[in-house]
Amino acid sequence: MPRSRTRLPTQKTVAAVVLAAGSSRRMGDINKLMLSIEGTPMVVRVVEALERSRVDRILIVTGHQSERISEALSGRKVELVHNQDYEEGIGTSIRTGISTLGKDFDGALIVLADMPWVGTEVVDRLIHAFTEADERSIFIPSVGGKRGNPILWSSRHFPELLGLAGDVGGKGLFNRCSEAICHVEVESTAIRLDVDTPDVLRELGIDSGVDAR
């Protein structure tokens, strides 16, 4: 699937796995991924940044209100896969995405769909670090010494990611794989900003209007 930006000749192949399956329980009756961020649904903003990046494939893992997510992303160069076990937690969505990729990619960028301000430059910096690396195989963005998301995993970790279950994400593997981690310094504080509670909406001045219900 061609991207709008040219791949580097030596770039490793990377697929983005966007986790868009959650039911936004902490938001009440709001589907946070449909919230309008500067006039664009949150999940669409996340995908737009990926479309401009150097990822080779964009896979959207759906679950809650999958039809709405599919409609919002209609016409975009993405592939949607449904996680039937999404209510069990984020681990099942990561497992669904990785199993769909199979062995065709050198790495997978695990992207949270509720982080709409993570820009293309962050994604490309992670891919560049992955391409240049020899021994390291987990790439975590950090700003001011504090880590964030998204996280890029080499395919050597796919078997471990396929073993995730329940509401435990990839962070549960950090201690076990500490020597494989490469912290990639970025300038954007957006890597630490996810929209997951009504308090965050109020702090950011985001309208939880009818379109998100």
- Residue range 101-116: average pLDDT? 95
Give domain status of residue 210, yes or no: no
Helix or strand (DSSP H, E) at 71 = helix 66-72
* Number of domains comprising the chain: 1
Give domain status of residue 213, yes or no: no
Model confidence, pTM = 0.91
For position 1, what pLDDT does the model report? 45
* DSSP of 173-189: GTTTTGGGEEEEE-S-G
Phi, psi (deg, nearest 5) at residue 99: -65, -30
- Residue range 125-129: average pLDDT? 97
11-15, 18-22, 201-205: which range is least confident on average? 201-205
Give domain status of residue 33, yes or no: yes
pLDDT interval class at 210 (50, 70, 90): very low
13-27, 48-62, 86-100, 126-140: which range is least confident on average? 13-27
Give domain status of residue 45, yes or no: yes
Residues 171, 71: Cα–Cα separation, whole Å = 31
Task: Share the mean pLDDT of the chain.
Answer: 90
pLDDT interval class at 196 (50, 70, 90): confident
Is residue 132 over pLDDT 90? yes
Give domain status of residue 173, yes or no: yes
Return all residues near 61 (Cβ < 8 A) that are at least 6 apart.
17, 18, 19, 20, 21, 81, 82, 83, 86, 93, 94, 96, 97
Is residue 10 over pLDDT 60? yes
Residues 163, 110: Cα–Cα separation, whole Å = 15
For position 4, what pLDDT does the model report? 46
- The pLDDT tens digits of the residues spanning 39-75 come to 999 999 999 999 999 999 999 999 999 999 999 999 9
- How far out from the chain centre does Cα 193 lie? 13
- Residue range 183-188: average pLDDT? 97
Residues 198, 210: Cα–Cα separation, whole Å = 15
Residues 31, 29: Cα–Cα separation, whole Å = 7
Tokens 């699937």 sit at which residue?
A: 1
> Which domain does 109 fall in, by range?
14-202
Domain CATH number, residue 122? 3.90.550.10
pLDDT interval class at 91 (50, 70, 90): very high
- The pLDDT tens digits of the residues spanning 156-174 come to 999 999 999 888 788 889 9
Give domain status of residue 4, yes or no: no
Give domain status of residue 6, yes or no: no
For position 27, what pLDDT does the model report? 76
Is residue 187 over pLDDT 70? yes
Give domain status of residue 178, yes or no: yes
Query: Which conformational region is residue 22 in: left (phi greater than 0), alpha (psi within -120 to 50 degrees), or beta?
Result: beta
